[in-house]
Chain A
Amino acid sequence: QKEVEQDPGPLSVPEGAIVSLNCTYSNSAFQYFMWYRQYSRKGPELLMYTYSSGNKEDGRFTAQVDKSSKYISLFIRDSQPSDSATYLCAMSGQAGTALIFGKGTTLSVSS
């Protein structure tokens, strides 16, 4: 079993839809959870950062972490064509250590 599992998609939705992306993980030591967005041929950019369990909201984006289930989610409300990208979940244990990434989910939002 891989440390981080993420459905690669692709996921296609119409503009305005609510998008749900998620990852599961196996390492109970993970404490830091992040979502990155990556456009084609570019480096990943940080979208959301969460420490331990809980929810975090930033504009149209909501990140949820359920450590008891080892499950994290990213919700995108009112999706826009500009949201079309690959979304990568990432996590790690101790501060200062490298991130372990999921495979990434490719999202396409059509206008």
Chain B
Amino acid sequence: GAVVSQHPSRVICKSGTSVKIECRSLDFQATTMFWYRQFPKQSLMLMATSNEGSKATYEQGVEKDKFLINHASLTLSTLTVTSAHPEDSSFYICSASVRSGANVLTFGAGSRLTVL
């Protein structure tokens, strides 16, 4: 089946540094990928929609200069958390649509970011 690989699974960084999270579709091409954020015991909140070859579309309230998204190829999207602060600590999950014309999303395993 379709697999979305996300890396790293866990990262700890110091406040003020930047962290990059990669999301890859391993056996299919994904023109669109979605980035979600999940706080403990909360639901997944959509941060942005990443489109291959164009700028990402951010949800209201998400700072595009802080959460940089790049979708340079049909199999790779990256999320960079710039100048991270402790409040950015969260579980970040990417997803991609596998079936054309349907809305079935396959999710990566998630990346847990801890900012000290």
Contacts and interface: CB of A to CB of B under 8 A. Distances in A.
Interface of A: 6, 8, 32, 34, 36, 41-46, 49, 51, 88, 90, 92, 95-104, 106
A32 B103 contact: yes
B43 interface: yes
B44 A44 contact: yes
Q: Name B's interface SS.
A: strand
Interface of B: 4, 6, 32, 34, 36, 41-46, 49, 91, 93, 95, 97, 101-110, 112
Given A43-B107, A88-B44, 5 more contacts: A6-B43, A41-B112, A44-B93, A95-B103, A103-B43
13 contacts: A6-B43, A36-B107, A41-B91, A43-B93, A46-B104, A49-B102, A51-B102, A90-B105, A96-B97, A97-B103, A98-B34, A103-B42, A103-B43
A43 B92 CA distance: 9
B62 to A, nearest CB: 12
Closest 6 CB pairs of A and B: A43-B107, A32-B103, A103-B43, A43-B110, A101-B44, A101-B43
B43 A95 contact: no
B108 A43 contact: yes
A17 B112 CA distance: 34
Contacts of A32: 102-103
A35 B62 CA distance: 26
Contact of A46 (B42, B45, B105): B105
Contacts of A101: 36, 43-45
